[in-house]
Amino acid sequence: MSVSAPAKLTLKDYKSDLHNDWCPGCGDFGILTGIQMAIQQMQIDPDKLAVFSGIGCSGKTPHYINAYGFHTLHGRVLTVATGGRLANTDLTVIALGGDGDGYGIGAGYFVGTGRRNVDFTYIVHNNNVYGLTKGQASPTLSKGKKTKSMPEQAIQDGINPVAMAVASGYTFIARAYALEPKYLASIIVKAVEHKGSALVDVLQTCPTYNDLYTKEWYEGADLPEKRSRLYKLEERGYDGKVSDPNDREEIVAKKAAAVARSYEDDPIPIGIYYQAELPTYEDAVMQRIPALGEKPLVEQDVFHRDVQPLLEAMR
Ligand SMILES: Cc1ncc(C[n+]2csc(CCOP(=O)(O)OP(=O)(O)O)c2C)c(N)n1
């Protein structure tokens, strides 16, 4: 009897048939395509992939991907994704959401995730506005900027997601552009393959509310020389990868270089800013907790456990 090789999964296998209600031309389409291209390239079994999201236009993304999906709460996606990953370490976990979700209300969880270095990828749809609630300024909009959806200019300074990720301890930090899904997919593949907390901040257009950072703006259509306002780090000889994770000096130097690049704003660097292979939470902490280290929680009988001895011990 001959056994045929399993059929290769195609892009179609990662698409759901749910109706999509994003605005026409939304940058979210590019990010969705980038994710689907990446998981197809890696041939991840949809049964072994869980995509978690926060609340916002971006939060609808898991509905459109054929995999396990969990549309969580505003700002709380990282907590739920962490739980999902730790309960079932056989899963590939992708968390995603908007810049308001992740860098505003979710900022504390953003820091905590970087500190723990749990092995999953976090993709932020960074469109400078709160899209779902009609375009208020998000934490990444700089002071003095005013989109067509705002009554007046932003009165607070914008935060720097890459520098925030460096300071928090993410071990893979990258930035990409939503309307270049092929390049975005290549970055997502590297983020997912990386062992540890990976941030991919994606510059995203919002044609409905953000009339400042449009496709034409990113691509420099208004500039006399018509050059892109983006450049790829690796094309200018930058390498953010730490070669010796035991060398603290190298780590500090690479972090400083990543932060310096993250403040460049014309052109804006995209690509991998920083990467270091450091012990993950799963390796460093879970292994020390007997109940979690033995086998994934989902494979354990947690419902019929006798907690009486534990209660007695704490008496
Ligand atoms: C606890 C809580 N606060 C506020 C809201 C209202 N709310 C829904 S989405 C959203 C912001 C969405 O913006 P962003 O996270 O940038 O995502 P986008 O819609 O741009 O993709 C807000 C404030 C909420 N749902 N829950």
Ligand 1 pocket: which of 99, 132, 149, 206 to mutate (most atoms <8 Å of CB)? 132
Q: What is the pLDDT of residues 120-150, one digit of tens each?
A: 999 999 999 999 999 999 999 999 999 999 9
Distance 31 CA to ligand 1 centre (A): 18
Question: Which residue's C-alpha comes closest to atom 2 of ligand 1?
Answer: 74
Query: Where does the pLDDT of residue 1 fall: very low under 50, low under 70, confident under 90, or very high at 90 and above?
Result: low
Query: Where does the pLDDT of residue 305 fall: very low under 50, low under 70, confident under 90, or very high at 90 and above?
Result: confident
Under a CB-based contact definition with an 8 Å cutoff, are residues 18 and 63 in contact? yes
> Would residue 10 be called left, alpha or beta, if left means φ above 0 and alpha means ψ between -120 and 50 degrees?
beta
Distance 146 CA to ligand 1 centre (A): 19
Under a CB-based contact definition with an 8 Å cutoff, are residues 78 and 168 in contact? no
Ligand 1 lined by 101 (C-beta under 6 Å): yes
Calculate the average pLDDT of the chain.
96
Under a CB-based contact definition with an 8 Å cutoff, are residues 206 and 27 in contact? yes
Question: Which residue's C-alpha comes closest to atom 20 of ligand 1?
Answer: 131
Angle at 178 between CA 261 and CA 231, to 5 degrees: 35
CA Rg value for the chain = 21
Residue 92, pLDDT > 80, answer yes
Query: What is the reported pLDDT for 287?
Result: 82
Range with the poorest average pLDDT among 87-96, 218-227, 283-292:
283-292
Residue 6, pLDDT > 80, answer no
Tally of CA atoms within 13 A in the half-sphere of 307 that contains its CB: 7
> Would residue 196 be called left, alpha or beta, if left means φ above 0 and alpha means ψ between -120 and 50 degrees?
left
The token pair at 251 is 């780590």
Angle between helices 77-87 and 107-116 (to 10 degrees): 30
Ligand 1 lined by 194 (C-beta under 6 Å): no
Question: Which residue's C-alpha comes closest to atom 11 of ligand 1?
Answer: 130
Average pLDDT rounded to a whole number, residues 257-281: 98
**H helices of 42-126, where?**
77-87, 99-100, 107-116
Share of the chain above pLDDT 90, in %: 90
The domains of the chain, with CATH numbers, are 11-313 (3.40.50.970)
Average pLDDT rounded to a whole number, residues 236-250: 98
The token pair at 98 is 């908007």
Distance 240 CA to ligand 1 centre (A): 32
